[in-house]
Copies of this chain bind each other. A is one copy, B any other.
Amino acid sequence: MADPALIVGSLISPYVRKVLACCEIKRVAYRVDPLVPFYGNERFEALSPLRRIPVFRDDRTTIADSSVICQYLEDRYPEPRLYPAEPAAAARARWFEEYADTRMGDVFVWRLFNEAVIAPSVWGKPRDLESIARTLEHEVPEVLRYLERQLPSDGFVLGELSIADISIAAFLRNAIWARFEVDARLWPRTAGLVQRVFALPAFRRLMPYEDIMVRTPPARQRAVLAEAGFPVTDEGLAADTPRRGPMSV
């Protein structure tokens, strides 16, 4: 392939993390335009009609949905396999990806991380501590109860590593920045799985850059990532002020 693929989106996003982890595992070369969520301009919207990140672009296509991107990477770069070959096992892997993208996204990103990190940093709003406490008391244990019933005590969800493991761990990574970690005494299977996924070279390579992003103000993020040696680019997709889109209301 001529050029590295372009991935538009902040390394803080679990949806971006899924795609970067798949690229790392499949050794697909990439560069990232670390667009801050909500800052996309009109050119960004032309690439991503729902104003979602990540956007993936290579020599053949442009795709603006993380699950569609991961499946495309699997179809174009089949090795190592991240979707089981047997149809029912593949369906189970895709179900966990969907559960992570929607329910874990709702609880850990929109309710928890959004209130604790995005509200003050992007929108300049104070943290709603009562809302955070309610989420920690109700929704978070409900999700963890479900996962704990489904996950294995050892290895990965479908035996071999798959998109299921990558997705679940990608969302729990964001919870950590909102100061929530899965307690291994209460939720041993979930905590164990997350630990095994976080120990993968693909996740370990991304983590220091993600941590840089969380502690750097938006305006400085691209420069600081570049200084740290991460492959960044600037495609001119950022507006001066954040705006809400169809999917972020």
Binding site for B on A (CB under 8 A): 49-50, 60-61, 63-65, 67-69, 71-72, 75-76, 87-88, 90-92, 94-95, 98-99, 102-103, 106, 139, 142, 146, 246-247
Cross-chain contact B91 with A63 (CB below 8 angstroms): yes
| Contact residue among B87, B92, B98, B247 (Cβ-Cβ distance under 8 Å from A67) | B98
A102-B50, A103-B50, A146-B49 in contact; A91/B247 too (CB < 8 A)? no
| Contact residue among B49, B72, B88, B146 (Cβ-Cβ distance under 8 Å from A61) | B88
Cross-chain contact A75 with B49 (CB below 8 angstroms): no
| Contact residue among B72, B95, B99, B246 (Cβ-Cβ distance under 8 Å from A88) | B72
Cross-chain contact A90 with B63 (CB below 8 angstroms): no
Chain B residues within 8 Å of A71, by CB: 90-91, 94
A72-B88, A72-B90 in contact; A95/B63 too (CB < 8 A)? yes
Chain B residues within 8 Å of A98, by CB: 65, 67-68
Per the bound structure, the CA–CA distance linking A64 and B50 in Å amounts to: 24
Per the bound structure, the CA–CA distance linking A102 and B72 in Å amounts to: 19
Chain B residues within 8 Å of A67, by CB: 94, 98
Chain B residues within 8 Å of A68, by CB: 91, 94-95, 98
Per the bound structure, the CA–CA distance linking A65 and B95 in Å amounts to: 7
Chain B residues within 8 Å of A88, by CB: 60-61, 72
Chain B residues within 8 Å of A69, by CB: 91
Cross-chain contact A61 with B247 (CB below 8 angstroms): no
8 pairs of A and B residues whose beta carbons are closest in the complex? A75-B87, A61-B88, A72-B91, A60-B88, A68-B94, A76-B87, A65-B98, A63-B91
Cross-chain contact B75 with A246 (CB below 8 angstroms): no
Chain B residues within 8 Å of A103, by CB: 49-50, 246-247
Cross-chain contact A106 with B146 (CB below 8 angstroms): no
Chain B's closest residue to A77 (CB) is: B87
Chain B residues within 8 Å of A75, by CB: 87, 90-91
